[in-house]
Structure 1
């Protein structure tokens, strides 16, 4: 006998969403073929202007979703109507939010309070005002639902689950430090590689942009806010009441004179005029036989969080990082002076979707 079906709704079908859709279909087939099978039914797929839904909850063909969305002529329902549709499903429902939409995140408490679980890589949901954070988890407790967001920090890397397990097993987390941005990792591994000179800062930013490592407007990476959001999430899990990602020091690498640029293109055009500022920082590090890296750190005992440039010895694991990898060091009472290290690809649609799929598997196990 199979388990009752679990219904799935997906919002957001960009790079991460489409990668997730493929992984979901593989998971659906695998679960359906097990000795004690679980049936997954995709009942809603929604992107910015179009949506398709299974009105009788029979399930949609995941392999045809993108085509169905392109051909859809159905009216785009307001979210309240979507929530009612999900609430009326004849079984447990999981909402997968693959967007970075804060407005959608603000609806999580309403979703969770109705018994609908949520899995998402949406950083804004868990790093915005702490009142939203509190209301999300209070609603989940009230509604008997579940919320997982592993991919909000480190994409597919087990960063949140590692920290959570350390805490739940009674370890004392002293400090967390690392490179939390694939973009900034690539940038500084190129700007100041160990044992080599590296290029000019503006040239390395352009290279990173051309390779697709930055946001369309690189200022969205260089302002440090993305890293600050990830640090806010980890700090809150560690027990610090961080009000927002702007409530602690965050170093921006946008030259002050370029903060008023009207576009990313204008910024990129003018950035070479300010290379001297970064060259001075590089020269200072060289004199000390160190390298520069853009890191985030959380000191639990002193209740402090910060994001910015730090100097490291060439032998330090953070200095030795390659490409666009992330590295997160957990210093705890149990692990002593040698941290527990999580390292690997911290960006990209496939690995981010993997984290979302992993969260979905966790929810399915809890719902069965």
Structure 2
């Protein structure tokens, strides 16, 4: 197959999500034989194809990368490497790097498409958001040979949240409100701490956090989940998509579940050791909801008409769709001009390497179909 028909793929990040993605890419290559994996780079080392007609092996990539003595590529080196290849190039960024996110406009302007779950690219400064939008392919300006931009997994892992909202907007609907549970970790915690059916009372808050950590549902440092910033980033992305020019996560109320007394505790271990000292506070939050016949959940909301965002604890009727979540499921409800009383609801697993990678792979398929 001639190089003109090849689609050259560079992958940054070969850990949790990256490893699952490369496994899925191996399966995908049987359907799209014109895929050429030319670069894998992680924090300490990289693996590059020696020639564009000899792609990296999707069967032995992990062994080959481990044996590589080449250092990790900088963003500038990655851009140069891809820039020297023929057209139809894709950067798959599975990292959470701000530096890589800041470079998206440069890749896009060189005609390199970008697929990523990296939330920082779309939730940091408005300047970066605007630059990414202006540097992405625009059908009304085909004379600009910019790359395509897809980021489904930046909100809700593999759930079709970004694509659903994109379709609503593209078909002329007016989005009035978005609400939901946007964190698989916090969903899991509250579904166990404050069960909606009342069949079993959850354990203490610190015990539930500890169990979630041991089960791998939290970040290595649970404070990265409990501070609410991850949820806030996702709200910023959705708000900007519907035209709310929110400046960043610091411009609206974001409730942290980290006790103020523990904000400066040095290590995750020290934090976990002391968290039990504050169980009574969370017990009271749960008990107050029970007395009102409600349940407590960690909710994110975007009021489009008021241009207001909010992240934090809410008491909800047991019949509310959010109250009935199970496990680590996410749920996002879109209230629009078309979906007024009965919102369009997207629900399902919202965390995990495999489902996040699925969203990335699905986005890659969209790029392949558009550029082939």
1:69-126 CA distance string (max 9 Å, x none): 1111224443322211101112310000000011111111111111100000001111
Q: TM-score, normalised by structure 2?
A: 0.95
> SS of the counterpart of 2:319?
coil
Instruction: Give structure 1 regions of 4+ aligned residues with deviation exceeding 6 angstroms.
Output: none
**Structural mapping, 1:59-208, within 5 Å:** 59-141=55-137, 142-194=144-196, 195=198, 196-208=200-212
What residue number does 1:308 align with?
312
**Inter-partner Cα distance in structure 2 for 1:239 and 1:71:** 47
Q: Does 1:45 align with 2:45?
A: no
| Deviation of 1:172 (Å) | 1.0
Q: Does 1:12 align with 2:13?
A: yes
**Inter-partner Cα distance in structure 2 for 1:168 and 1:78:** 36
Q: Does 1:265 align with 2:269?
A: yes
Gaps of 5+ in 1: 33-38
What residue number does 1:35 align with?
none
What residue number does 1:251 align with?
255
Gaps of 5+ in 2: 138-143
Tell me the C-alpha RMSD between the 2 structures.
1.2
1:165-204 CA distance string (max 9 Å, x none): 0111011111100000000000000110011321111111
**Inter-partner Cα distance in structure 2 for 1:76 and 1:345:** 33
**Inter-partner Cα distance in structure 2 for 1:79 and 1:122:** 15
Q: How many residues align?
A: 362
**Inter-partner Cα distance in structure 1 for 2:73 and 2:274:** 44
| Deviation of 1:333 (Å) | 1.1
> SS of the counterpart of 2:203?
coil
**Inter-partner Cα distance in structure 2 for 1:151 and 1:79:** 22
1:31-66 CA distance string (max 9 Å, x none): 23xxxxxx0101101011111111321211111111
**Inter-partner Cα distance in structure 1 for 2:52 and 2:114:** 19
What residue number does 1:226 align with?
230
Q: Check the 8 A contact 2:42/2:72 in 1, yes or no.
A: no
> SS of the counterpart of 2:178?
strand
**Inter-partner Cα distance in structure 2 for 1:77 and 1:198:** 47
**Inter-partner Cα distance in structure 1 for 2:302 and 2:261:** 30
1:250-274 CA distance string (max 9 Å, x none): 0000011111111111111001110
> SS of the counterpart of 2:250?
coil
1:262-319 CA distance string (max 9 Å, x none): 1111111001110111111111111110000001000000000000000111111100
